[in-house]
Amino acid sequence: MSTVTGSRGRLDKRQAILDAALRVFVREGYERASVDAISAEAHVSKPTIYAHLGSKEDLFTRVMIDSAERSSTKIIAALDGFPEGPDGLRAKLIDVGYQVIDCQRSADGWGLQRLLFAEAARFPDLFDAVVSHGGHRVSQALAGRLARLAHAGQLDIGDPVTAASQFTALVAGDLPALSALGTRPVSDDALRQAVTAGVDTFLRAFATDNAG
């Protein structure tokens, strides 16, 4: 086996362990989750888990950060459709907002949020790490796109980072209630209506007379 093939195999096995661990942690919570259950879910031995990712605590931390990174990467990819000019600004913002929030309403996405809040006291540094690898990346990417719209005269914003947080809060604001914190499905129509209301509020606050 070549070195490249061997490295690829180790990475695949590591990712399989992380995926299995996320499912178990979401299902059981940190306290009740066991390495035995994770090894059974991943179809690997306990020594393999320890060799790849260390203790249960180390594994939990890596799972949370890895999930945040993957989620933020998916959301940032959804920003590719972000408008760059006045043509169809409202409609394009609604489409992008819908795609961004759609990325967050998966079972794993909600499970990650519930785990983070539930274990914040046990892992006081983990919240900041997850925000840094997840929400902060999204906020910076969105802020850059909003800044370009402001530079083009479509938006009147003083601080693009703050505006990015406000945009996200507005388009996602109804999702926790609609989904009961991710415990019940939300229809596409209901989600689009909520996003549309958020975008309209955002534009009323920040759109200039030049906005399309």
pLDDT above 70 coverage of the chain, percent: 94
Residue 13: pLDDT over 80? yes
Average pLDDT for 47-53: 93
Please tell me which residue, 124 or 164, carries the higher pLDDT value. Answer: 164
Task: Give this prediction's pTM.
Answer: 0.81
Please report how the helices 89-104 and 56-78 are oriented relative to each other, as an axis angle in degrees rounded to 10.
160
* 26 Cβ contact list (under 8 Å, min separation 6): 107, 108, 111, 112, 114, 115
pLDDT above 90 coverage of the chain, percent: 53
Average pLDDT, the chain: 88
- The CA distance from 151 to 159, in Å, is 12
Task: Give per-residue pLDDT as tens, 179-188.
Answer: 777 778 888 8
Average pLDDT for 105-120: 80
- The CA distance from 38 to 88, in Å, is 48
83: left (phi over 0), alpha (psi -120 to 50) or beta: beta
Task: Give per-residue pLDDT as tens, 120-130.
Answer: 889 989 989 98
Residue 196: pLDDT over 60? yes
> HSE of 31 in the Cβ direction (CA atoms, 13 Å)?
5
pLDDT of residue 101: 86
pLDDT of residue 5: 52
| Across 2-6, 48-52, 74-78, 119-123, least confident range | 2-6
pLDDT of residue 2: 56
Residue 108: pLDDT over 90? no
- Phi, psi (deg, nearest 5) at residue 158: -90, -40
* 27 Cβ contact list (under 8 Å, min separation 6): 33
Do 136 and 172 meet the contact criterion of CB atoms below 8 Å apart? no
pLDDT of residue 1: 47
Task: Give per-residue pLDDT as tens, 54-79.
Answer: 999 999 999 999 988 988 898 899 88
- The CA distance from 116 to 25, in Å, is 11
Q: How many helices (H) and strands (E) does the chain have?
A: 11, 0
pLDDT of residue 209: 84
Residue 140, classified by CB atoms within 10 Å of its CB into exposed (0-12), middle (13-18) or buried (19+), is middle
Residue 6: pLDDT over 80? no
pLDDT of residue 154: 93
